[in-house]
Chain A
Amino acid sequence: DTAVSQTPKYLVTQMGNDKSIKCEQNLGHDTMYWYKQDSKKFLKIMFSYNNKELIINETVPNRFSPKSPDKAHLNLHINSLELGDSAVYFCASSQEFSDTERTEAFFGQGTRLTVV
């Protein structure tokens, strides 16, 4: 029973195309994230949503647009794909109960995006 699932696992596409990555969590968490992991394995936060509302947008190009139809889903749409967008994209979720009680982030299996 997968807690955080992303589709697809692999995505190969040409420059200029538009693509989407879907993410769903069945943990009942309020917060969801998108991270980008580059070729050097560095994990950089892109977006964070809490109860469908955007709370963090880390200077990501406008070509990246997250969409949260409900708190269990956070999809990532990318327009006009560029070579530099090639990376592994991770979706994650967590729950904050109070200032002193918070879960860790649970991650999806990642989507390897290759732009050619």
Chain B
Amino acid sequence: AQTVTQSQPEMSVQEAETVTLSCTYDTSENNYYLFWYKQPPSRQMILVIRQEAYKQQNATENRFSVNFQKAAKSFSLKISDSQLGDTAMYFCAFNGNKLVFGAGTILRVKS
């Protein structure tokens, strides 16, 4: 079975600082995708960043970047220059033969 583990239920960061959210997953598949989604209080699910497992290069989207370690089955999200609008629940997700989510990490950005 595919599982996704986010070991940090809650995180806090000061505005303009950098924070890293952890994610590990378990699978026997070789081709898969990994995603980070953001869910603000509006409850809309918003894609933050995606990573194809066959690509060795870590994905980057503006202030958001990932550290993808395929052998370790690790997929962490780094948010640089944190902004108040980054406050949200962040979900790590694995998509092999189905899309499975971690339990989420609440991120609070403080001014």
Asked whether, in the complex, the Cβ of B98 is within 8 Å of the Cβ of A48, the reply is yes
Residues B29-45 near A (CB distance < 8 A): 31, 33, 35, 39, 43-45
The range of chain B's interface size is 20 to 34
Q: With A42-B104, A43-B91 known to touch, is A102 a contact of B43 (CB < 8 Å)?
A: no
B89 within 8 A of A: yes
In the complex, chain B residues whose CB is within 8 Å of the CB of A92 = 45, 99
Asked whether, in the complex, the Cβ of A100 is within 8 Å of the Cβ of B54, the reply is yes
In the complex, what distance in Å separates the CA atom of A53 from the CA atom of B39? 29
Asked whether, in the complex, the Cβ of B43 is within 8 Å of the Cβ of A88, the reply is yes
Size of the A side of the interface (Cβ < 8 Å), in residues, is 24
Secondary structure class of chain B's binding surface, majority of residues: strand
In the complex, what distance in Å separates the CA atom of A42 from the CA atom of B24? 16
Residues A62-91 near B (CB distance < 8 A): 88, 90
B19 within 8 A of A: no
Chain B residue at minimum C-beta to C-beta distance from A48: B98
Asked whether, in the complex, the Cβ of A45 is within 8 Å of the Cβ of B31, the reply is no
Minimum C-beta distance from B55 to chain A (A) = 9
> Which residues in A have some Cβ–Cβ distance to B below 8 Å?
33, 35, 40-45, 48, 56, 88, 90, 92, 94, 99-100, 102, 104-107, 109-110, 112
